[in-house]
Structure 1
Amino acid sequence: MRILFLTPYPLGKAPSQRFRFEQYLPELDAQGWQYQLVPFLDEATWSILYKPGHVGAKVLGILGGLWRRLLLVLTAVGKYDVVFVHREAAPVGPPVIEWLIARVLRKRIVYDFDDAIWLQDPAWERAFASRLKYPRKVSLICRWADRVSCGNAYLRDYAAQFSPQAVINPTTLDTENLHNIVRSQATAPGGTVVIGWTGTHSTLRHLDLLWPVLERLEQEGHRFEFRVISNFPPDYEGLKSLTFRPWRKDTEIADLAGFHFGLMPLVDDAWARGKCAFKALQYMALGMPALVSPVGMNTEVVQDGHNGYVCATDEEWYEAIRRLLTDEALRTRLGTAARRTIVERYSVLSNTRNFLNLFK
């Protein structure tokens, strides 16, 4: 089996790539399969992609990516058995590359996505790059693909309108080699409980749901640190207990393991319903409870009162956070169940056969 992976970003840079297929590459080696990963963006363009300015360099980077994609189709795609397309072959314009691969070269496509990418992401609706996208391409690629790999049932149900071969391939974690730290819920005498949130700048908007709740807890005298790990700090100054740590790949797991429990609020909109509960998966894999909004896949992963809490209102968020702040034994019990959920249902170990079946 020879597989060509067409990815948006360089190897090891983006969570969606790392946790949807990159961590399965050793298994492909074990199967004796050959593969190559070809990113659209080069390292230089990736390094400035989310920084302000650099417009000229970004435009040149995108044009360079388009040229490399076309050259790849003309010279190299023919030697592969399957082409795995993660999200899209090119981030701008109609799906010309996918059409050439599927309709002209007659190659099998496995199409993979983990967000509602047929919609406009609210976090990017005013960005210049968003105007160059072609959301309608998702339905077209689904029609052309031999298999559509979807992160959850919501995404699968969309893809199934266009393909009878749409299947659920959940985002998973390597609980043996990466997410293998189990958080101790014990605190030193007088120690502070750390409530955590992690995500990118595009998801910081969801924290607006929680600021009033956290302020209320702080004003009532509860001692805690609310630690945010992201590539940009939140633009909020009303919470004294707020701290920020920049996300770093080399310290990611240790930084997350510094939480006692993690939060995943989501605004209930069409885009958020496509989310694959990734924050909750990470918290739970490290042996801590996850508190989540009842949106999208969250209610599939988190069972209220068993491995975390599902919170729909300010009062439910308040009660769940207050309970965990004051009850170490409860944090330990829910955290143990949370880790078990991930190992049994959302780990590389439990999903390897499902992933390999995408190519058969």
Structure 2
Amino acid sequence: MTKKVLFITPYPQDTAGSQRFRFEQYIPFLEAKGVQVDRQSFIDDKTWAVLYLPGHGLQKILGIVKGFVRRKWMLLKASRYDFIFIHREAAPLGPPVFEWVLARVLEKKVIYDFDDAIWKENTTDTNGLIAKLKWASKVATICRWSHRVSAGNEFLSSYARQYSDRVVVNPTTLDTGRRHVPAPQKSTDRPVIGWTGTHSTLKYLELIAPVINSLRQEIAFDFVVIADQKPVSEIEDFIFLPWNDQTEIQDLNRIDIGVMPLEVDEWAKGKCGFKALQFMSLEKAVLVTPVGVNAEIVTHGISGYHCETLADWEMYLRDLLLNESIRRDMGVQGRKTVVEQFSVASNTANFLSLFDV
């Protein structure tokens, strides 16, 4: 009998990085095994288009209401599925009512997936009101109810194991065979430092702004920011490239040195190192704050550098800016790490095991 899986996601298909790189790229492998896959997002395409724009309050409210209505209709059809895969949560607000119905009432096999420390509040200027309406404690409850828990790294898995003995470390991965492919190495007298992320992580850029501005006084280089929103930053004369799925790899390949500064806190410990992995997959030397999985992904002095202080950031950035051969050697080692440990090819069997296929 054909297995059927329903993916319950926060956002529409091919829009959010966490969805694309945690499970959407594996769906063709499930279908190749004869599994029938359906999807339902909470936010529809029209709401997604304005979700992070200022204003549009009525449209956003209506979009959330429609999301709850879709989830209610989903419950009426849930009995036809062998597995229900829930990424992060079934609904962004309130207690885990939908998860309770699916797991406890309908007794469906729920696979619960998360890639951040979402049991912690992470309030920003743009999500303050919504953060207050979230139900952070539901993460532990959903872990208890789930058939399996898919966690993005060991820190997240350790949390989940407090509530379930069916936890699988399922890292965020990249398609190093077709998408994340490095461009031919270029030789340049003006190297490029780069950062990529979303509006919610732009605050981390400011952690290294003094270092970037200071180095500019002695070395000629460019600083590129790839994001969904132009930052208001203390970094002088940066080049902003609006994130675009069609040009993302081309834009990332303009960079010679990738940076991933973070604050050292519980939220950062839950991150899956995606920015670092992207740079490494494209043979870029990386510098990271060695918090959480970053300390494991990047081998200090081999594929990049760990930077714990501003003095570290300045010393190691200067080293890479002035030594093209070191940058290239580190890039080669970084890609090797990604291909062997954080690629779709290396993780496909692990992902499919969630569904017993």
TM-score of Structure 1 vs Structure 2, range by shorter chain = over 0.9
Matched, 1:279 2:275: yes
| Structure-1 residue corresponding to 2:192 | 194
Amino acid of the residue matched to residue 11 of structure 1?
A: Q
Matched residue type, 2:225: V
Between the aligned residues of both structures, percent identity stands at: 50
Deviation at 1:234, TM superposition (A): 1.7
Per the TM alignment, residue 235 of structure 1 is displaced from its structure 2 partner at its CA by 1.0
Cα distance in 2, alignment partners of residues 47 and 261 from structure 1: 32
Task: State the superposition RMSD in angstroms.
Answer: 1.2
Distance, in Å, in 1 between the alignment partners of 2:10 and 2:79 is: 20
Task: Name 1:47's counterpart in structure 2.
Answer: 49
> How far off its partner does 1:333 sit?
0.5
Listed as ranges, the gaps of 5+ residues in structure 2 are none
Deviates further, 127-136 or 318-327: 127-136
* Cα distance in structure 2, aligned partners of 1:120 and 1:288: 32
Does the C-alpha gap of structure 1 residues 93 and 124 become closer, same or farther in structure 2, counting only changes over 3 Å?
farther
What are the equivalent positions in structure 2 for 1:17-56 lying under 5 Å apart? 17-56=19-58
Taking structure 2 as the reference length, the TM-score comes to 0.97
Q: Deviations over 1:200-235 (max 9, x none)?
A: 01101111210111111012x200111001111221
Is residue 225 of structure 2 the alignment partner of residue 228 of structure 1? yes
Asked if 1 retains the 8 angstrom alpha-carbon contact of 2:206 and 2:233, the reply is no
Kindly provide the CA deviation profile for residues 254-273 of structure 1, in whole angstroms up to 9, marking residues without a partner as x: 11111001000000111111
Q: Distance in 1 between matches of 2:131 and 2:102?
A: 25
* Contact 1:185–1:328 under 8 Å retained in 2: no
Match of 1:342 in 2: 338
- Residue 125 of structure 1, CA deviation: 7.9
CA contact (8 A) 2:143 2:149 kept: yes
Map 1:60-139 → 2, pairs under 5 A: 60-74=62-76, 76-123=77-124, 127-139=128-140
Does the CA contact (< 8 Å) of 1:124 and 1:130 recur in 2? no
Alpha carbons 1:289, 1:308 under 8 Å: kept: yes
Question: What is residue 329 of structure 1 aligned with on the other side?
Answer: 325
What does 1:214-293 correspond to in 2, within 5 Å? 214-219=212-217, 221-240=218-237, 242-293=238-289
SS in structure 2 at match of 1:249: coil
Contact 1:262 1:290 survives alignment (8 Å): yes
Aligned amino acid, residue 60 of structure 1: L
* Aligned counterparts of 1:28 and 1:127: Cα–Cα separation in 2: 38
For residues 275 and 351 of structure 1, what CA distance do their matches in structure 2 show? Answer: 18
Equivalence for 1:310:
306
Q: Secondary structure at the match of 1:3?
A: strand
Q: Deviations over 1:112-157 (max 9, x none)?
A: 0000001111425862222221111101100000100000011001
Instruction: Name the CA distance, whole Å, in 1 between partners of 2:259 and 2:169.
Output: 25
Closer, same or farther: CA 231–125 of 1 in aligned 2, 3 Å: closer
Shift of 1:355: 0.3
Distance 1:172 1:123 in 2: 27
Residue 79 of structure 2 aligns to a residue whose secondary structure is: helix
**Secondary structure, counterpart of 1:111 in structure 2:** strand
Distance 1:350 1:280 in 2: 18
Secondary structure of the residue aligned to 2:95 is coil
Instruction: Name structure 1 gaps, 5 residues minimum.
Output: none
1:301 paired with 2:297, answer yes
Residues 288 and 337 of structure 1: is their aligned pair in 2 closer, same or farther, counting only changes over 3 Å?
Answer: same
Q: Which residue of 2 aligns with 1:207?
A: 205
Residues 123 and 203, structure 1, Cα contact 8 Å, conserved in 2? no
Corresponding letter in the other structure for 1:114:
D
After superposition, give the CA deviation of every residue in 1:225-256 in whole Å (9 maximum; x if it has no partner): 1100111122124513x111110111111111
Using the alignment, how far apart are the partners of 2:269 and 2:80 within structure 1? 38
Confirm or deny that 1:10 pairs with 2:12. Answer: yes
- Supply the AA of the counterpart residue of 1:239: E
Give the Cα separation in 2 of the matches to 1:238 and 1:357. Answer: 45
Cα contact 1:115–1:275 (8 A) shared by 2: yes
Aligned partner letter, 2:354: L
What TM-score do you get using the length of structure 1 for normalisation?
0.96
| 1:185 shift after superposition | 4.7
Rounded Cα–Cα distance in structure 1 between residues aligned with 2:265 and 2:184: 32
Question: Is the contact made by 1:215 and 1:238 (CA closer than 8 Å) also made in structure 2?
Answer: yes
